[in-house]
Chain A
Amino acid sequence: MRLLTAVLRTIRNSRRLATGLIVLAVLILVALFSPLIVKAIGGGQDPIELAAYDKWQVPSPQHLLGTDQFGRDVLAMVVKALSVSLQIGAIAGVISTVAGVIVAFVAGYKGGWIDNVLSTFTGILLVIPTFPLLIALSAYAKNVSLFQVGVMISIFSWPFAAKTIRSQVLSLRTRPYVDLARVSKARDIEIIVTELLPNLLPFIGVGFASSALGAIFGLVGLEIIGLGPGGVIDLGQIIFNAIGTGALTLGAWPMFVVPIALLTLLFAALNMVNIGLEEVYNPRLRGVAGE
Protein backbone atom coordinates (compact mmCIF):
# COMPACT_ATOMS: atom_id res chain seq x y z
CA MET A 1 0.00 0.00 0.00
CA ARG A 2 2.73 2.39 1.05
CA LEU A 3 4.66 1.14 -1.93
CA LEU A 4 1.76 1.98 -4.19
CA THR A 5 1.48 5.55 -2.97
CA ALA A 6 5.22 5.95 -3.38
CA VAL A 7 4.97 4.69 -6.93
CA LEU A 8 2.08 7.03 -7.69
CA ARG A 9 4.00 9.92 -6.24
CA THR A 10 6.94 9.06 -8.44
CA ILE A 11 4.77 9.00 -11.53
CA ARG A 12 3.17 12.31 -10.76
CA ASN A 13 6.59 13.89 -10.56
CA SER A 14 7.63 13.13 -14.10
CA ARG A 15 5.65 13.95 -17.19
CA ARG A 16 7.96 11.78 -19.25
CA LEU A 17 7.43 8.79 -17.03
CA ALA A 18 3.67 9.33 -17.08
CA THR A 19 3.57 9.62 -20.89
CA GLY A 20 5.67 6.49 -21.31
CA LEU A 21 3.47 4.56 -18.94
CA ILE A 22 0.24 5.72 -20.60
CA VAL A 23 1.44 4.74 -24.08
CA LEU A 24 2.60 1.43 -22.69
CA ALA A 25 -0.71 0.89 -20.93
CA VAL A 26 -2.63 1.54 -24.16
CA LEU A 27 -0.46 -0.92 -26.07
CA ILE A 28 -0.87 -3.50 -23.34
CA LEU A 29 -4.64 -3.02 -23.31
CA VAL A 30 -4.76 -3.55 -27.07
CA ALA A 31 -2.67 -6.69 -26.61
CA LEU A 32 -4.86 -7.97 -23.78
CA PHE A 33 -8.02 -7.47 -25.81
CA SER A 34 -6.44 -8.69 -29.03
CA PRO A 35 -8.61 -11.86 -29.22
CA LEU A 36 -11.73 -9.70 -29.00
CA ILE A 37 -10.44 -7.15 -31.46
CA VAL A 38 -9.45 -9.85 -33.93
CA LYS A 39 -12.88 -11.41 -33.58
CA ALA A 40 -14.58 -8.07 -34.15
CA ILE A 41 -12.52 -7.50 -37.28
CA GLY A 42 -13.40 -10.96 -38.55
CA GLY A 43 -17.09 -10.48 -37.84
CA GLY A 44 -17.83 -14.21 -37.46
CA GLN A 45 -14.90 -15.66 -39.37
CA ASP A 46 -11.19 -15.80 -38.54
CA PRO A 47 -9.54 -12.84 -40.29
CA ILE A 48 -6.07 -14.40 -39.95
CA GLU A 49 -7.02 -17.66 -41.60
CA LEU A 50 -5.27 -18.34 -44.90
CA ALA A 51 -7.36 -17.10 -47.80
CA ALA A 52 -9.91 -15.51 -45.53
CA TYR A 53 -10.24 -12.68 -48.03
CA ASP A 54 -8.85 -11.72 -51.42
CA LYS A 55 -5.05 -11.25 -51.54
CA TRP A 56 -3.30 -7.91 -51.62
CA GLN A 57 -6.27 -5.69 -51.02
CA VAL A 58 -5.41 -2.04 -50.46
CA PRO A 59 -6.71 -0.32 -47.35
CA SER A 60 -10.48 0.09 -47.42
CA PRO A 61 -13.26 0.52 -44.86
CA GLN A 62 -13.58 -3.28 -44.69
CA HIS A 63 -9.87 -3.83 -44.28
CA LEU A 64 -8.38 -0.74 -42.76
CA LEU A 65 -4.84 -1.91 -43.40
CA GLY A 66 -5.57 -4.13 -46.38
CA THR A 67 -4.75 -7.83 -46.71
CA ASP A 68 -1.50 -9.72 -47.25
CA GLN A 69 -0.27 -12.27 -49.77
CA PHE A 70 -2.40 -15.00 -48.19
CA GLY A 71 -5.51 -12.86 -47.99
CA ARG A 72 -5.26 -12.24 -44.26
CA ASP A 73 -6.46 -9.01 -42.66
CA VAL A 74 -3.36 -6.97 -41.83
CA LEU A 75 -4.94 -4.99 -38.99
CA ALA A 76 -5.94 -8.21 -37.23
CA MET A 77 -2.45 -9.60 -37.76
CA VAL A 78 -0.81 -6.48 -36.40
CA VAL A 79 -2.99 -6.53 -33.29
CA LYS A 80 -2.21 -10.18 -32.67
CA ALA A 81 1.49 -9.64 -33.38
CA LEU A 82 1.62 -6.77 -30.93
CA SER A 83 0.40 -9.05 -28.21
CA VAL A 84 3.04 -11.66 -29.15
CA SER A 85 5.78 -9.05 -29.12
CA LEU A 86 4.66 -7.78 -25.73
CA GLN A 87 4.53 -11.33 -24.43
CA ILE A 88 8.12 -12.02 -25.37
CA GLY A 89 9.05 -8.74 -23.72
CA ALA A 90 7.20 -9.68 -20.56
CA ILE A 91 8.62 -13.20 -20.43
CA ALA A 92 12.22 -12.14 -20.98
CA GLY A 93 11.77 -9.02 -18.85
CA VAL A 94 10.49 -10.96 -15.86
CA ILE A 95 13.05 -13.75 -16.11
CA SER A 96 16.04 -11.50 -16.55
CA THR A 97 14.92 -9.04 -13.91
CA VAL A 98 14.29 -11.73 -11.31
CA ALA A 99 17.58 -13.47 -12.11
CA GLY A 100 19.45 -10.18 -12.24
CA VAL A 101 17.99 -8.93 -8.95
CA ILE A 102 18.72 -12.15 -7.08
CA VAL A 103 22.31 -12.37 -8.33
CA ALA A 104 22.86 -8.67 -7.73
CA PHE A 105 21.60 -8.78 -4.17
CA VAL A 106 23.47 -11.93 -3.21
CA ALA A 107 26.70 -10.63 -4.75
CA GLY A 108 26.36 -7.05 -3.60
CA TYR A 109 25.14 -7.69 -0.09
CA LYS A 110 27.24 -10.72 0.81
CA GLY A 111 30.40 -9.47 -0.88
CA GLY A 112 33.65 -11.44 -0.53
CA TRP A 113 34.29 -14.54 -2.65
CA ILE A 114 30.60 -14.98 -3.48
CA ASP A 115 30.67 -11.58 -5.11
CA ASN A 116 33.88 -12.42 -6.95
CA VAL A 117 32.49 -15.63 -8.42
CA LEU A 118 29.13 -14.11 -9.40
CA SER A 119 30.66 -10.96 -10.83
CA THR A 120 33.18 -12.88 -12.90
CA PHE A 121 30.40 -15.07 -14.27
CA THR A 122 28.22 -12.06 -15.05
CA GLY A 123 31.18 -10.33 -16.64
CA ILE A 124 31.85 -13.28 -18.95
CA LEU A 125 28.22 -13.37 -20.08
CA LEU A 126 28.36 -9.64 -20.71
CA VAL A 127 31.23 -9.82 -23.18
CA ILE A 128 29.85 -12.77 -25.14
CA PRO A 129 28.45 -11.52 -28.45
CA THR A 130 24.78 -12.16 -27.85
CA PHE A 131 23.03 -12.05 -31.17
CA PRO A 132 25.20 -14.53 -33.10
CA LEU A 133 24.82 -16.98 -30.25
CA LEU A 134 21.09 -16.44 -30.22
CA ILE A 135 21.03 -17.16 -33.95
CA ALA A 136 23.07 -20.30 -33.45
CA LEU A 137 20.79 -21.44 -30.65
CA SER A 138 17.61 -20.83 -32.62
CA ALA A 139 18.99 -22.50 -35.71
CA TYR A 140 19.97 -25.49 -33.63
CA ALA A 141 16.71 -25.77 -31.71
CA LYS A 142 14.09 -26.00 -34.43
CA ASN A 143 10.46 -25.38 -33.65
CA VAL A 144 11.09 -23.51 -30.44
CA SER A 145 8.10 -22.08 -28.65
CA LEU A 146 7.69 -18.42 -27.80
CA PHE A 147 8.44 -19.16 -24.16
CA GLN A 148 11.65 -20.97 -25.03
CA VAL A 149 12.82 -18.07 -27.13
CA GLY A 150 12.03 -15.82 -24.18
CA VAL A 151 14.19 -17.96 -21.91
CA MET A 152 16.99 -18.00 -24.46
CA ILE A 153 16.98 -14.24 -24.76
CA SER A 154 16.88 -13.90 -20.96
CA ILE A 155 20.08 -15.92 -20.62
CA PHE A 156 21.84 -13.09 -22.35
CA SER A 157 19.98 -10.14 -20.93
CA TRP A 158 19.96 -10.78 -17.18
CA PRO A 159 23.64 -9.87 -16.69
CA PHE A 160 22.90 -6.28 -17.71
CA ALA A 161 20.25 -5.99 -15.02
CA ALA A 162 22.50 -7.76 -12.51
CA LYS A 163 25.42 -5.45 -13.17
CA THR A 164 23.57 -2.16 -12.69
CA ILE A 165 21.67 -3.34 -9.65
CA ARG A 166 24.74 -4.84 -8.00
CA SER A 167 26.61 -1.56 -8.10
CA GLN A 168 23.62 0.13 -6.49
CA VAL A 169 23.44 -2.52 -3.78
CA LEU A 170 27.14 -1.99 -3.09
CA SER A 171 26.61 1.70 -2.59
CA LEU A 172 23.46 1.27 -0.51
CA ARG A 173 24.57 -1.50 1.82
CA THR A 174 27.07 0.70 3.66
CA ARG A 175 24.49 3.41 4.30
CA PRO A 176 24.04 4.28 7.95
CA TYR A 177 20.36 3.34 7.80
CA VAL A 178 21.43 -0.22 7.06
CA ASP A 179 23.61 -0.14 10.19
CA LEU A 180 20.68 1.25 12.15
CA ALA A 181 18.50 -1.61 10.92
CA ARG A 182 21.18 -4.07 11.98
CA VAL A 183 21.40 -2.72 15.50
CA SER A 184 17.59 -2.87 15.54
CA LYS A 185 17.85 -6.63 15.08
CA ALA A 186 16.75 -6.73 11.44
CA ARG A 187 17.86 -9.85 9.56
CA ASP A 188 19.74 -9.77 6.26
CA ILE A 189 16.72 -10.70 4.20
CA GLU A 190 14.62 -8.11 5.97
CA ILE A 191 17.25 -5.45 5.28
CA ILE A 192 17.41 -6.43 1.62
CA VAL A 193 13.65 -6.35 1.19
CA THR A 194 12.67 -3.36 3.31
CA GLU A 195 15.74 -1.11 3.29
CA LEU A 196 17.44 -1.76 -0.04
CA LEU A 197 14.78 -2.99 -2.44
CA PRO A 198 12.44 0.05 -2.27
CA ASN A 199 15.32 2.35 -3.09
CA LEU A 200 16.24 0.15 -6.00
CA LEU A 201 12.77 -0.01 -7.55
CA PRO A 202 13.65 2.55 -10.21
CA PHE A 203 16.74 0.58 -11.18
CA ILE A 204 14.77 -2.62 -11.23
CA GLY A 205 12.19 -0.90 -13.42
CA VAL A 206 14.93 0.26 -15.76
CA GLY A 207 16.38 -3.27 -15.82
CA PHE A 208 12.98 -4.69 -16.69
CA ALA A 209 12.27 -2.16 -19.41
CA SER A 210 15.68 -2.64 -21.02
CA SER A 211 15.45 -6.43 -20.95
CA ALA A 212 11.92 -6.36 -22.37
CA LEU A 213 12.99 -4.00 -25.12
CA GLY A 214 16.04 -6.12 -25.88
CA ALA A 215 13.89 -9.23 -26.14
CA ILE A 216 11.27 -7.64 -28.39
CA PHE A 217 13.92 -6.43 -30.80
CA GLY A 218 15.89 -9.64 -30.45
CA LEU A 219 12.84 -11.53 -31.66
CA VAL A 220 12.31 -9.07 -34.49
CA GLY A 221 15.92 -9.72 -35.48
CA LEU A 222 15.40 -13.45 -35.43
CA GLU A 223 12.21 -13.18 -37.48
CA ILE A 224 13.85 -11.01 -40.09
CA ILE A 225 16.46 -13.68 -40.73
CA GLY A 226 13.72 -16.31 -40.58
CA LEU A 227 14.65 -18.02 -37.33
CA GLY A 228 11.70 -17.10 -35.13
CA PRO A 229 9.57 -19.49 -33.11
CA GLY A 230 6.98 -21.47 -35.07
CA GLY A 231 3.25 -20.97 -34.98
CA VAL A 232 3.21 -17.34 -33.86
CA ILE A 233 3.25 -14.05 -35.68
CA ASP A 234 5.07 -11.18 -34.04
CA LEU A 235 5.68 -7.70 -35.40
CA GLY A 236 9.05 -8.76 -36.78
CA GLN A 237 7.48 -11.52 -38.81
CA ILE A 238 5.06 -9.16 -40.49
CA ILE A 239 7.94 -6.91 -41.43
CA PHE A 240 9.85 -9.95 -42.69
CA ASN A 241 6.81 -10.90 -44.77
CA ALA A 242 6.50 -7.43 -46.17
CA ILE A 243 10.15 -7.40 -47.17
CA GLY A 244 10.06 -10.93 -48.57
CA THR A 245 7.01 -10.37 -50.75
CA GLY A 246 7.83 -6.87 -51.89
CA ALA A 247 4.63 -5.65 -50.30
CA LEU A 248 5.64 -2.05 -50.69
CA THR A 249 5.74 -2.28 -54.46
CA LEU A 250 2.29 -3.86 -54.39
CA GLY A 251 0.78 -0.89 -52.57
CA ALA A 252 0.45 -2.82 -49.30
CA TRP A 253 2.51 -0.29 -47.42
CA PRO A 254 0.67 -0.70 -44.09
CA MET A 255 2.16 -4.18 -43.73
CA PHE A 256 5.56 -2.61 -43.55
CA VAL A 257 4.88 0.75 -42.00
CA VAL A 258 2.44 -0.10 -39.23
CA PRO A 259 4.52 -2.76 -37.42
CA ILE A 260 7.55 -0.49 -37.58
CA ALA A 261 5.52 2.42 -36.23
CA LEU A 262 4.28 0.24 -33.37
CA LEU A 263 7.80 -0.94 -32.57
CA THR A 264 9.00 2.65 -32.59
CA LEU A 265 6.18 3.64 -30.28
CA LEU A 266 7.03 0.79 -27.93
CA PHE A 267 10.68 1.72 -28.01
CA ALA A 268 9.87 5.34 -27.26
CA ALA A 269 7.47 4.45 -24.46
CA LEU A 270 9.86 2.06 -22.71
CA ASN A 271 12.70 4.52 -23.05
CA MET A 272 10.60 7.31 -21.64
CA VAL A 273 9.87 5.08 -18.67
CA ASN A 274 13.60 4.41 -18.31
CA ILE A 275 14.63 8.01 -18.48
CA GLY A 276 11.71 9.17 -16.37
CA LEU A 277 12.62 6.72 -13.61
CA GLU A 278 16.23 7.80 -13.61
CA GLU A 279 15.17 11.42 -13.49
CA VAL A 280 12.76 10.95 -10.66
CA TYR A 281 15.06 8.78 -8.62
CA ASN A 282 16.33 11.48 -6.39
CA PRO A 283 14.80 12.10 -2.96
CA ARG A 284 15.64 15.78 -3.27
CA LEU A 285 13.40 16.12 -6.29
CA ARG A 286 10.64 14.52 -4.27
CA GLY A 287 11.06 17.29 -1.75
CA VAL A 288 10.67 20.03 -4.34
CA ALA A 289 7.51 18.57 -5.73
CA GLY A 290 5.92 18.07 -2.31
CA GLU A 291 5.41 14.73 -0.62
Chain B
Amino acid sequence: MKSELELRGVQQRFHARGVADGYVTAVDDVSFSLLASPPQIVSLVGQSGSGKSTIARNVLGLQKPTAGSVLYGGKDIFKLSRSEYDAYRRDVQPVFQDPYAIFNPFYRVDRVLWKAVKKFKLADTRAKGLQLIEESLQAVRLEPENVLGRYPHQLSGGQRQRIMLARVHMLRPSFIIADEPVSMLDAQVRRHFLDILLDFQREHGMTTLFITHDLSTVYYLGGEVMVITKGQIVERGPVATVMHEPTHPYTKLLLDSIPSPDPDQRWTTRIQVDELERLDDNTPVDATKPEAPII
Protein backbone atom coordinates (compact mmCIF):
# COMPACT_ATOMS: atom_id res chain seq x y z
CA MET B 1 0.00 0.00 0.00
CA LYS B 2 1.42 3.38 -1.05
CA SER B 3 0.70 5.26 2.11
CA GLU B 4 1.97 8.77 1.68
CA LEU B 5 1.11 11.83 -0.30
CA GLU B 6 3.71 14.54 -0.06
CA LEU B 7 4.11 18.06 -1.39
CA ARG B 8 7.71 19.16 -1.58
CA GLY B 9 8.41 22.84 -2.21
CA VAL B 10 5.42 23.21 -4.50
CA GLN B 11 5.20 26.53 -6.28
CA GLN B 12 2.52 27.51 -8.76
CA ARG B 13 2.73 30.64 -10.82
CA PHE B 14 0.19 31.89 -13.31
CA HIS B 15 0.63 34.43 -16.02
CA ALA B 16 -1.43 37.45 -15.24
CA ARG B 17 -1.92 40.81 -16.82
CA GLY B 18 -1.55 44.03 -14.92
CA VAL B 19 0.77 42.57 -12.29
CA ALA B 20 4.25 43.96 -11.69
CA ASP B 21 6.29 41.06 -13.08
CA GLY B 22 3.66 39.45 -15.28
CA TYR B 23 2.65 36.56 -13.04
CA VAL B 24 1.00 35.76 -9.75
CA THR B 25 2.37 33.20 -7.35
CA ALA B 26 -0.70 31.29 -6.23
CA VAL B 27 1.23 28.67 -4.24
CA ASP B 28 4.58 29.56 -2.77
CA ASP B 29 6.96 26.85 -1.56
CA VAL B 30 4.37 24.65 0.10
CA SER B 31 5.44 21.40 1.72
CA PHE B 32 3.39 18.98 3.77
CA SER B 33 2.55 15.33 3.80
CA LEU B 34 -0.56 13.27 4.35
CA LEU B 35 -0.37 9.78 5.80
CA ALA B 36 -2.83 7.06 4.94
CA SER B 37 -2.38 5.38 8.27
CA PRO B 38 -3.36 6.23 10.80
CA PRO B 39 -6.20 7.89 8.87
CA GLN B 40 -6.32 11.59 9.62
CA ILE B 41 -8.18 14.72 8.77
CA VAL B 42 -6.00 17.64 7.84
CA SER B 43 -7.72 20.95 7.28
CA LEU B 44 -6.26 23.63 5.09
CA VAL B 45 -7.78 26.93 6.04
CA GLY B 46 -7.35 30.31 4.43
CA GLN B 47 -9.16 33.18 2.81
CA SER B 48 -10.48 33.17 -0.70
CA GLY B 49 -7.63 33.60 -3.16
CA SER B 50 -4.98 32.25 -0.79
CA GLY B 51 -4.14 29.36 -3.13
CA LYS B 52 -6.13 26.50 -1.59
CA SER B 53 -7.84 25.30 -4.74
CA THR B 54 -4.61 25.49 -6.64
CA ILE B 55 -2.99 23.18 -4.09
CA ALA B 56 -5.92 20.78 -4.49
CA ARG B 57 -5.45 20.81 -8.26
CA ASN B 58 -1.73 20.19 -7.84
CA VAL B 59 -2.36 17.25 -5.55
CA LEU B 60 -4.97 15.81 -7.91
CA GLY B 61 -2.59 16.05 -10.84
CA LEU B 62 -4.86 18.50 -12.67
CA GLN B 63 -2.23 21.22 -12.65
CA LYS B 64 1.51 20.66 -12.89
CA PRO B 65 3.34 22.87 -10.41
CA THR B 66 5.85 25.31 -11.84
CA ALA B 67 8.39 24.17 -9.25
CA GLY B 68 8.65 21.49 -6.61
CA SER B 69 6.81 18.21 -6.76
CA VAL B 70 3.88 16.20 -5.55
CA LEU B 71 4.94 12.73 -4.50
CA TYR B 72 2.76 9.67 -4.21
CA GLY B 73 4.46 6.74 -2.52
CA GLY B 74 7.70 8.69 -2.85
CA LYS B 75 7.38 9.22 -6.62
CA ASP B 76 6.56 12.35 -8.60
CA ILE B 77 2.94 12.00 -9.75
CA PHE B 78 3.80 13.38 -13.17
CA LYS B 79 6.45 10.68 -13.68
CA LEU B 80 4.53 7.57 -12.67
CA SER B 81 4.54 4.34 -14.64
CA ARG B 82 1.25 3.15 -16.06
CA SER B 83 0.41 0.88 -13.13
CA GLU B 84 1.58 3.40 -10.55
CA TYR B 85 -0.55 6.04 -12.24
CA ASP B 86 -3.60 3.77 -12.09
CA ALA B 87 -3.01 3.18 -8.38
CA TYR B 88 -2.56 6.91 -7.74
CA ARG B 89 -5.70 7.82 -9.66
CA ARG B 90 -7.81 5.47 -7.67
CA ASP B 91 -6.17 6.25 -4.36
CA VAL B 92 -6.50 10.05 -4.47
CA GLN B 93 -10.04 11.25 -5.08
CA PRO B 94 -11.69 14.66 -5.00
CA VAL B 95 -14.85 16.24 -3.72
CA PHE B 96 -15.20 19.62 -5.35
CA GLN B 97 -16.78 22.82 -4.17
CA ASP B 98 -19.69 23.35 -6.50
CA PRO B 99 -22.11 20.43 -6.31
CA TYR B 100 -23.92 21.59 -9.43
CA ALA B 101 -21.05 22.23 -11.81
CA ILE B 102 -19.55 18.86 -11.00
CA PHE B 103 -22.28 17.17 -13.03
CA ASN B 104 -22.43 17.40 -16.77
CA PRO B 105 -25.96 18.77 -17.31
CA PHE B 106 -26.34 16.57 -20.36
CA TYR B 107 -26.40 13.31 -18.40
CA ARG B 108 -28.25 11.70 -15.54
CA VAL B 109 -26.42 11.70 -12.23
CA ASP B 110 -25.94 7.91 -12.32
CA ARG B 111 -23.30 8.41 -14.93
CA VAL B 112 -20.57 9.59 -12.57
CA LEU B 113 -21.05 6.43 -10.54
CA TRP B 114 -21.08 4.14 -13.56
CA LYS B 115 -17.99 5.91 -14.89
CA ALA B 116 -16.21 5.05 -11.66
CA VAL B 117 -17.35 1.41 -11.90
CA LYS B 118 -16.11 1.11 -15.47
CA LYS B 119 -12.92 3.14 -15.37
CA PHE B 120 -11.67 1.50 -12.21
CA LYS B 121 -13.07 -1.94 -13.03
CA LEU B 122 -15.01 -2.20 -9.79
CA ALA B 123 -17.45 -4.80 -11.10
CA ASP B 124 -17.50 -7.12 -14.08
CA THR B 125 -21.26 -7.34 -14.54
CA ARG B 126 -23.96 -4.73 -14.65
CA ALA B 127 -25.81 -6.33 -11.79
CA LYS B 128 -22.75 -6.22 -9.53
CA GLY B 129 -22.09 -2.66 -10.58
CA LEU B 130 -25.62 -1.63 -9.69
CA GLN B 131 -25.35 -3.39 -6.37
CA LEU B 132 -22.15 -1.49 -5.59
CA ILE B 133 -23.77 1.79 -6.56
CA GLU B 134 -26.79 1.15 -4.38
CA GLU B 135 -24.63 0.11 -1.43
CA SER B 136 -22.57 3.27 -1.70
CA LEU B 137 -25.62 5.49 -2.02
CA GLN B 138 -27.02 3.92 1.13
CA ALA B 139 -23.68 4.45 2.86
CA VAL B 140 -24.11 8.19 2.32
CA ARG B 141 -27.77 7.94 3.36
CA LEU B 142 -29.31 8.45 -0.02
CA GLU B 143 -32.18 6.32 -1.25
CA PRO B 144 -31.10 4.93 -4.64
CA GLU B 145 -34.62 5.27 -6.05
CA ASN B 146 -34.63 8.96 -5.14
CA VAL B 147 -31.52 9.82 -7.10
CA LEU B 148 -30.87 7.24 -9.80
CA GLY B 149 -32.24 8.18 -13.18
CA ARG B 150 -32.47 11.86 -12.33
CA TYR B 151 -30.80 14.86 -13.84
CA PRO B 152 -28.54 17.04 -11.68
CA HIS B 153 -30.97 19.95 -11.58
CA GLN B 154 -33.62 17.68 -10.10
CA LEU B 155 -31.60 17.05 -6.94
CA SER B 156 -30.73 19.31 -4.04
CA GLY B 157 -27.20 20.54 -3.43
CA GLY B 158 -26.85 18.23 -0.44
CA GLN B 159 -27.95 15.22 -2.47
CA ARG B 160 -25.57 16.05 -5.28
CA GLN B 161 -22.64 16.47 -2.94
CA ARG B 162 -23.47 13.16 -1.26
CA ILE B 163 -23.45 11.46 -4.65
CA MET B 164 -19.86 12.61 -4.86
CA LEU B 165 -19.27 11.01 -1.49
CA ALA B 166 -20.93 7.83 -2.73
CA ARG B 167 -18.47 7.85 -5.59
CA VAL B 168 -15.63 8.15 -3.07
CA HIS B 169 -17.18 5.37 -1.04
CA MET B 170 -17.14 3.09 -4.08
CA LEU B 171 -13.51 3.79 -4.87
CA ARG B 172 -12.25 3.59 -1.27
CA PRO B 173 -9.28 5.86 -1.88
CA SER B 174 -6.69 6.37 0.85
CA PHE B 175 -6.90 10.12 0.29
CA ILE B 176 -9.86 12.43 -0.20
CA ILE B 177 -9.07 15.92 -1.45
CA ALA B 178 -12.13 17.93 -0.47
CA ASP B 179 -12.01 21.50 -1.79
CA GLU B 180 -14.57 23.54 0.16
CA PRO B 181 -17.12 20.73 -0.19
CA VAL B 182 -19.65 22.28 2.17
CA SER B 183 -19.31 25.97 1.40
CA MET B 184 -22.35 25.88 -0.85
CA LEU B 185 -24.52 23.81 1.48
CA ASP B 186 -26.65 25.17 4.28
CA ALA B 187 -25.82 24.51 7.89
CA GLN B 188 -27.77 21.32 8.58
CA VAL B 189 -26.76 19.60 5.38
CA ARG B 190 -23.23 20.73 6.04
CA ARG B 191 -23.03 18.88 9.32
CA HIS B 192 -24.52 15.81 7.74
CA PHE B 193 -21.80 15.87 5.11
CA LEU B 194 -19.01 16.30 7.67
CA ASP B 195 -20.32 13.36 9.66
CA ILE B 196 -20.08 11.15 6.62
CA LEU B 197 -16.47 12.25 6.13
CA LEU B 198 -15.73 11.37 9.75
CA ASP B 199 -17.39 7.98 9.20
CA PHE B 200 -15.21 7.38 6.19
CA GLN B 201 -12.15 8.12 8.27
CA ARG B 202 -13.23 5.78 11.05
CA GLU B 203 -14.77 2.94 9.10
CA HIS B 204 -12.80 2.90 5.89
CA GLY B 205 -9.55 4.45 7.02
CA MET B 206 -9.61 7.36 4.61
CA THR B 207 -7.41 10.40 5.10
CA THR B 208 -8.96 13.72 4.13
CA LEU B 209 -7.36 16.98 3.10
CA PHE B 210 -10.21 19.27 3.99
CA ILE B 211 -9.99 22.69 2.39
CA THR B 212 -12.13 25.42 3.86
CA HIS B 213 -12.36 29.09 4.70
CA ASP B 214 -14.68 28.40 7.59
CA LEU B 215 -13.15 27.82 11.01
CA SER B 216 -16.24 26.26 12.55
CA THR B 217 -15.98 23.28 10.22
CA VAL B 218 -12.32 22.96 11.21
CA TYR B 219 -13.35 22.80 14.87
CA TYR B 220 -15.97 20.25 14.10
CA LEU B 221 -13.66 17.93 12.21
CA GLY B 222 -10.74 18.21 14.61
CA GLY B 223 -7.42 16.63 13.65
CA GLU B 224 -4.68 18.76 12.19
CA VAL B 225 -4.92 22.18 10.63
CA MET B 226 -2.71 24.23 8.35
CA VAL B 227 -3.25 27.94 7.87
CA ILE B 228 -2.48 29.38 4.47
CA THR B 229 -2.22 32.95 3.35
CA LYS B 230 -0.93 34.36 0.07
CA GLY B 231 0.14 30.91 -1.07
CA GLN B 232 2.24 30.19 2.01
CA ILE B 233 1.48 27.91 4.92
CA VAL B 234 2.15 30.05 7.95
CA GLU B 235 1.02 27.82 10.79
CA ARG B 236 0.25 24.16 11.36
CA GLY B 237 -0.53 21.81 14.21
CA PRO B 238 -3.37 20.05 16.03
CA VAL B 239 -6.60 22.02 15.78
CA ALA B 240 -6.89 22.63 19.53
CA THR B 241 -3.33 23.94 19.82
CA VAL B 242 -3.55 26.23 16.82
CA MET B 243 -6.91 27.60 17.93
CA HIS B 244 -5.92 28.15 21.55
CA GLU B 245 -2.37 29.34 21.05
CA PRO B 246 -1.96 30.77 17.60
CA THR B 247 1.61 31.88 16.97
CA HIS B 248 1.37 33.58 13.60
CA PRO B 249 -0.24 37.03 13.43
CA TYR B 250 -2.39 35.95 10.49
CA THR B 251 -3.88 33.07 12.47
CA LYS B 252 -4.68 35.47 15.32
CA LEU B 253 -6.36 37.77 12.87
CA LEU B 254 -8.37 34.90 11.46
CA LEU B 255 -9.48 33.77 14.92
CA ASP B 256 -10.43 37.29 15.94
CA SER B 257 -12.54 37.71 12.87
CA ILE B 258 -15.04 35.04 13.84
CA PRO B 259 -17.77 35.82 16.37
CA SER B 260 -17.30 32.96 18.82
CA PRO B 261 -13.77 31.65 18.66
CA ASP B 262 -14.19 29.25 21.53
CA PRO B 263 -13.01 25.84 20.38
CA ASP B 264 -14.91 24.16 23.23
CA GLN B 265 -18.13 25.46 21.79
CA ARG B 266 -17.73 23.22 18.78
CA TRP B 267 -20.65 21.05 17.79
CA THR B 268 -20.44 17.93 19.83
CA THR B 269 -23.85 16.38 19.43
CA ARG B 270 -24.39 14.21 16.41
CA ILE B 271 -27.69 14.75 14.68
CA GLN B 272 -29.81 11.70 14.04
CA VAL B 273 -30.22 10.70 10.45
CA ASP B 274 -34.02 10.51 10.35
CA GLU B 275 -34.16 13.92 11.94
CA LEU B 276 -31.81 15.17 9.28
CA GLU B 277 -33.77 13.74 6.42
CA ARG B 278 -36.53 16.13 7.37
CA LEU B 279 -34.23 19.10 7.70
CA ASP B 280 -32.36 18.30 4.55
CA ASP B 281 -33.94 19.70 1.41
CA ASN B 282 -34.25 16.11 0.45
CA THR B 283 -37.55 15.96 -1.34
CA PRO B 284 -36.75 15.76 -5.00
CA VAL B 285 -37.83 18.75 -6.96
CA ASP B 286 -40.93 18.06 -8.96
CA ALA B 287 -39.74 19.38 -12.24
CA THR B 288 -43.08 19.40 -13.98
CA LYS B 289 -44.48 22.01 -11.64
CA PRO B 290 -43.68 25.40 -13.06
CA GLU B 291 -43.26 26.93 -9.62
CA ALA B 292 -40.69 24.29 -8.64
CA PRO B 293 -37.50 25.94 -7.43
CA ILE B 294 -34.66 25.49 -9.82
CA ILE B 295 -31.16 25.67 -8.49
Where the two chains meet, the residues of A that have a C-beta atom closer than 8 Å to any C-beta of B are 2, 6, 175-177, 179-186, 195, 198-199, 283-284, 286-288, 290-291
27 intermolecular pairs with C-beta atoms under 8 Å apart: A176-B97, A176-B98, A177-B104, A179-B57, A179-B60, A179-B62, A180-B94, A180-B96, A183-B60, A183-B89, A183-B93, A183-B94, A184-B116, A185-B89, A185-B119, A186-B115, A198-B104, A198-B106, A198-B107, A284-B294, A286-B153, A287-B151, A287-B154, A288-B287, A288-B292, A290-B287, A291-B287
B98 CB contacts on chain A under 8 angstroms: 176
- Nearest-CB distance from B216 to chain A (Å)? 25
Q: Tell me, in angstroms, the Cα distance from A286 to B285 when the chains sit together.
A: 13
Do B62 and A288 touch across chains, with their CB atoms under 8 A apart? no
In the bound complex, residues from chain B placing their C-beta under 8 Å from that of A287 are 151, 153-154, 285, 287, 292, 294
Q: 10 closest pairs, A vs B, by CB?
A: A283-B105, A198-B106, A177-B104, A176-B101, A287-B153, A176-B102, A290-B288, A185-B119, A176-B96, A184-B119
Residues 56-95 of B, flagged 1 when their CB comes within 8 A of A and 0 if not, give 0100111000000000000000000000001001001110
Interface of chain A, main secondary structure: helix
Number of interface residues of B (CB under 8 A): 34
- On B, residues with C-beta under 8 Å from A are 57, 60-62, 86, 89, 92-94, 96-98, 101-107, 112, 115-116, 119-120, 151-154, 285, 287-288, 290, 292, 294
Quick one: which of B62, B86, B105, B287 contacts A199, CB cutoff 8 A?
B105
Chain B interface main SS type: loop
What is the chain A residue whose CB lies nearest that of B177? A183
A199 and B106 contact, Cβ closer than 8 Å, known pairs A176-B101, A283-B153: yes
A sample of 15 more A-B contacts (CB under 8 A), given A176-B96, A195-B104, A286-B153, is A177-B103, A177-B104, A179-B62, A179-B94, A179-B96, A180-B94, A184-B112, A185-B120, A186-B115, A199-B104, A199-B105, A284-B153, A286-B105, A287-B154, A290-B287
- The residue of chain B having its C-beta at the shortest distance from the C-beta of A182 within the complex is B62
**Distance to closest chain B CB from A196 (angstroms):** 9
Give A182 Cβ to nearest chain B Cβ, in Å: 6
* Least CB separation from B86: chain A residue: A185
Task: Give chain A nearest CB distance to B4 CB in angstroms.
Answer: 19
Cα-based distance from A176 to B100 in the complex (angstroms): 9
CA distance A181 to B111 in the complex (A): 11
Which A residues lie within 8 Å of B103 (CB)?
177
